[in-house]
Structure 1
Amino acid sequence: MRALLVVNPAATTTSARTRDVLIHALASEMKLDAITTEYRGHARDLAQQAAESGDVELVVSLGGDGTVNEIVNGLLHRGPEPDRLPRLAVVPGGSTNVFARALGLPNDPVEATGMILDALSERRERTVGLGLAAGTPGTEDEAAPSRWFTFNAGLGFDAGVVGRVEQHREQGKRSTHALYLRQAMRQFLDDPYRRHGTITLERSGEEPITGLVMSIICNTSPWTFLGNRPVYASPKASFDTGLDVLALRRMSTASVARYATQLLTSSPERGPHGKHAVSLHDLTDFTLHSKVPLPLQMDGDHLGVRTSVTFTGVRRALRVIV
């Protein structure tokens, strides 16, 4: 078997020692090419080359969720063809590693490598669904490039938080849960639209849902982790179904305190709920429109601002080693 290992040296918990241990372990089982990324988008380019080569059977990611997202977009640049495309294996090397942990992998890279090697030996894999976001035809965002996401996306408040965190990371600060919580508070205080929502959700055959302040799109559950604590925005979300949505119509101080508490105490059986919360399960296609440009994020990567995004849940899009 020929495999490509893509290493992001800037990922939060990726070290040279971890990389060397992983290379040694994988190289003992397969023909391995290991490449360290050198610029943003490099992982996507490497995965695209691997998909087009025809002789790479496995692409291994060592990095965080951003690295995984780039690799997935490189592999699927021509669309989902799971039987033809290389399989994906994920070794967690970031600060949160939502995708890897949602697959059931340990958060420790060495332990995860051992599990992946066992899975390869036993031919264990699953074909997971993914989310696809694109510019909406007939809008000013029509030309926006399509992009795949593995675990979540967001338009509005949570994407604004992601953008703030990225700004601090560019200034040299580490990505920590404390940093996210501080920026969430600042985003809340600065958000001019938190009381009067600008987002409308449209789907075929249903009445539009208007006045939304924020919208979180989940492709799996949990939505994220705070340390070792899983946080469930849409508990029913799954790699085996379409997309789930959690949206809020209001974000007053009292409602935010209530929903934050519900998130922190959420479980696989129950997520945020209440008269200002909208929860939708297993959607295939829907569009979010906003009266004003709002920030967009996918898999924790800030993508600028949009006024209209169309989302598609694509079942059985990619084979993953688990």
Structure 2
Amino acid sequence: MRTLLIVNPKATSTNKHVRKNITTALEGALDVKVKQTKARNHAQSLAQQAVHDGYDVVAVLGGDGTVNEVINGLLSQPNRSAYEVPILGIIPGGHANVLAHALALPSDSKKAAKAFIDHMQSQSIRTIGLGKAGDRWFALHAGLGIDAEVVAAVEDMRKRGFPTTPGSYMAGLVKSWIATDRWNGPMTMTGVSHDDQHVSIDKLVFAIVQNTTPWTMLGEIALQASTQARFEQGLDVVSLESLSAQTMMRIAGTLLTGRGIGDLPESTVLTNLATVTMTSDRPVPLQIDGDLIKPVTSITFASVPDAIRVFTPVDNP
């Protein structure tokens, strides 16, 4: 199968030596061409061109942000089925690598490269559903409010030379919590389930729209918002109407014991939604698959079943 490998040379959990070993291994086993990204959104352009050039497979050596760009490139043309675009391969090279964890892929890049070769040779392929936020695809989640503010804080620290670590996320969380309006929730969420049930909640300060679990990773610890989200179902939404100190302490305790934010009594969980729309009386920060997007006052999220094919372990549900 004709394969394009898109490599992010700035992937945080790899180095030049590791990337060279991985590309050499793939070139020895597969019909593969390697291209490196040069700037933000370049991976999306490379993936879009790969569709035009008729590649069978597009693999990514990078983090969740690079994978998101590739997905958006593969699916940039409207109304294309999963069988009309290249199959996606994932070799995690970022900090969190949440999608690799969700698909039961190795977190170690070298082991994941070997697994990718094995999955290609055995044709171990899974078709998964994705989410859309406006016209942007996402595999994992979108966050509104403090979730996106934390992403912004970590990105600011990274630009100032600080490494991206679990500690930087905790520092970003504290900074964002102090700065945010914890009580006067501006958001209203309205959703429609796959069985045509209509739901609505308002005065929200925080919301996560999930396509699968986990929500994110803290080192090797999987952190959950909704524990029920699955690629094969609609979208789940976990929301809060306030972020008091007591609530934040309960969130921390809940996450570190393997439960989800949605298990807290003060949270509201909506599951298996076909669409969900957020409106706000003021701009709200938004992140999609860990990438910061400009603040929004209105956005619609949609569940798209069977959107893309991915090489995964054969026993992955």
* TM surpasses 0.5: yes
Q: Residues 9-20 of structure 1: matches in 2 within 5 Å?
A: 9-20=9-20
Q: Which runs of 5+ in 2 are unaligned?
A: 313-317
> In structure 1, what is the Cα distance between the partners aligned to 2:149 and 2:76?
27
Structure-2 separation of matches of 1:69 and 1:123? 23
Distance 1:271 1:210, change over 3 A: closer
| Residues 1:154 and 2:143 are matched in the alignment | yes
Mark the CA change 1:280 to 1:318 in structure 2 (over 3 Å): closer, same or farther.
Answer: same
Equivalences for residues 126-165 of structure 1 within 5 A:
126-134=126-134, 146-165=135-154
Higher mean C-alpha displacement, 281-290 vs 198-207: 198-207
* Structure 1 SS opposite 2:38: coil
In 1, Cα distance between equivalents of 2:230 and 2:241: 24
Number of residue pairs matched by the alignment: 307
| Bigger mean CA offset, 15-24 vs 215-224 | 15-24
CA RMSD of aligned residues (A): 1.3
| CA distance, structure 2, for counterparts of residue 266 and residue 278 of structure 1 | 18
Q: Percent identity?
A: 40
Matching residue of 2:122: 122
Superimposed CA distance per residue, residues 105-127 of structure 1 (whole angstroms, 9 cap, x where no aligned partner): 11101111111111111110100
1:227 aligns with 2:219: yes
Task: Output the CA distance in 2 between the equivalents of 1:126 and 1:67.
Answer: 20
Extract unaligned runs of 5+ from structure 1: 135-145
Q: Does 1:297 align with 2:287?
A: yes
Find the counterpart in structure 2 of residue 45 from structure 1.
45
Does the 8 Å CA contact 1:262/1:272 hold for their aligned counterparts?
no
| Structure-2 separation of matches of 1:227 and 1:76 | 30
Pairing 1:194-273 to 2, within 5 Å after superposition: 194-204=182-192, 205-267=197-259, 271-273=261-263
Q: Which amino acid aligns with 1:200?
A: T
**1:30-109 equivalent positions in 2, closer than 5 A:** 30-54=30-54, 56-79=55-78, 80-109=80-109
Structure 1 residues 169 and 219 mapped into 2: Cα distance closer, same or farther (>3 Å)? same
- Give TM-score, length-normalised by structure 2: 0.94
Q: Spell out, residue by residue over 1:44-77, the C-alpha distance to the aligned partner (whole angstroms, 9 max, x if none).
A: 00000001112x1111100111100100000000
Deviation at 1:321? 0.4
TM superposition shift of 1:178:
0.3
The residue number in structure 2 matching 1:190 is: 179
In the alignment, residue 307 of structure 2 is paired with which amino acid?
A: A
Partner SS, residue 272 of structure 1:
helix
